[in-house]
Amino acid sequence: MGTTATAAVPEPKYWQLRTVLVRTIDEEFHTGEVLPNERDLAARFGVARATLRQALDQLELEGRLVRRRGIGTLIAAPRMGIPVAEASSRDTWRIVDCGIGAAPAAVAAALGITGDEPAEVHTVRRVRMMAGQAVGTETLFVPAAVMPHVPGFLAESSRARAVLKQFQALPIEGESRAVELGVAEEEQARLLERPPGIPVLVLTTRYAGDAGKTLAVAISTYRADTCKLTFGDAGVEVRAAS
Query: May I ask the CATH class of domain 13-77?
Result: mainly alpha
- Report whether pLDDT(167) > 70: yes
Element of type H or E holding 40: helix 38-45
Place 197 in a pLDDT band, splitting at 50, 70 and 90: confident
**CA 234 from centroid of its chain's CA atoms:** 20
The reply to whether domains 13-77 and 80-241 share a CATH topology is no
Q: What confidence tens digit (pLDDT) does each residue in 34-75 have? A: 999 999 999 999 999 999 999 998 888 777 888 888 888 988
Q: What is the pLDDT of residues 4-27, one digit of tens each?
A: 454 556 778 999 999 999 999 989
The whole-number pLDDT of residue 210 equals 87
pLDDT computed for residue 77 by the predictor:
74
Domain residue ranges in the chain: 13-77, 80-241
pTM: 0.71
CA-to-CA separations, 1 to 4, 5, 93, in angstroms, rounded: 10, 13, 63
Output the CA–CA distances (angstroms, integers) from residue 109 to 48, 82, 113, 122, 164, in the order listed.
Answer: 51, 29, 6, 16, 22
- CATH of the structural domain 80-241, one choice from 3.40.50.300, 3.30.70.890, 3.40.1410.10, 3.30.70.360: 3.40.1410.10
Other Cβ atoms within 10 Å of 146 Cβ, number: 19
Q: How confident is the model at residue 3 (pLDDT cuts 50, 70, 90)?
A: very low
